[in-house]
Amino acid sequence: MPPSQEKLCANSQHDVIKTDKNRYAMGMAAESFVANELALKGWKILSRNYRGLGFEVDIIGMKDRNLAAIEVKCRNNQKAEIDLASLVPNTKKSSLKKGILAWLSKNPNTAEYIDTIRLDLAIVTKQDERMIAHYYSNIDWEIY
């Protein structure tokens, strides 16, 4: 199934970090923006920056019995065409899968509320000094 795209909160006013000098701060701001927007859309944010040996998942969230490992990318501009494969290479997809399965093994009671486990991608860009998240559901394959 090809990924579906959704634009999150195009009308929200959010401060945009105006320099590339602090990529970490930009990334954290983008992750916070995406987590907040997903929560407003009914997602339950279960974990942020979940890390372990060989993996890091920016956001783990659930909505409508779908558990998602969400990779957040921050970009200064939005190209007309997005090459998802270059943004999330196979090594990163493997890392995300490992991370979501590790999280699930530490939270086994959650399994009864899940129908699918998937990998999602949020690309955060700025437009007129506002942050916009372009959200892609199921960028790879359903894990479960």
Per residue in 30-81, pLDDT (tens digit) is 999 999 999 999 999 999 999 999 999 999 999 999 999 999 998 876 654 5
Residues 125 and 9: beta-carbon distance below 8 Å: no
Q: Which amino acid is at 54?
A: G
Q: Residue 14: pLDDT above 70?
A: no
> Rounded to the nearest 5°, which phi and psi values hold at 100?
-70, -35
How many angstroms separate the Cα of 2 from the Cα of each of 28, 39, 50, 134, 139? 28, 24, 26, 15, 7
**Is residue 28 predicted with pLDDT exceeding 80?**
yes
**pLDDT for 112-129, tens place per residue?**
999 999 999 999 988 777
Q: Are 79 and 129 in contact (CB under 8 A)?
A: no
What is the per-residue pLDDT across 95-114, written as a single tens digit (0 to 9) for each? 999 999 999 999 999 989 99
Q: Give the pLDDT band of residue 130 (cuts 50, 70, 90).
A: confident
Which amino acid appears at position 34 of this protein? Answer: V
Q: Which residue ranges make up each domain of the chain? A: 4-137
Angle at 136 between CA 19 and CA 104, to 5 degrees: 100
Residue found by looking up tokens 């090594």 in the block: 91
Top-tier CATH class for 4-137: alpha beta
Query: From residue 74, how far is each of 9, 33, 124 by CA, in Å?
Result: 15, 11, 5
- pLDDT of 15 over the 70 cut: no
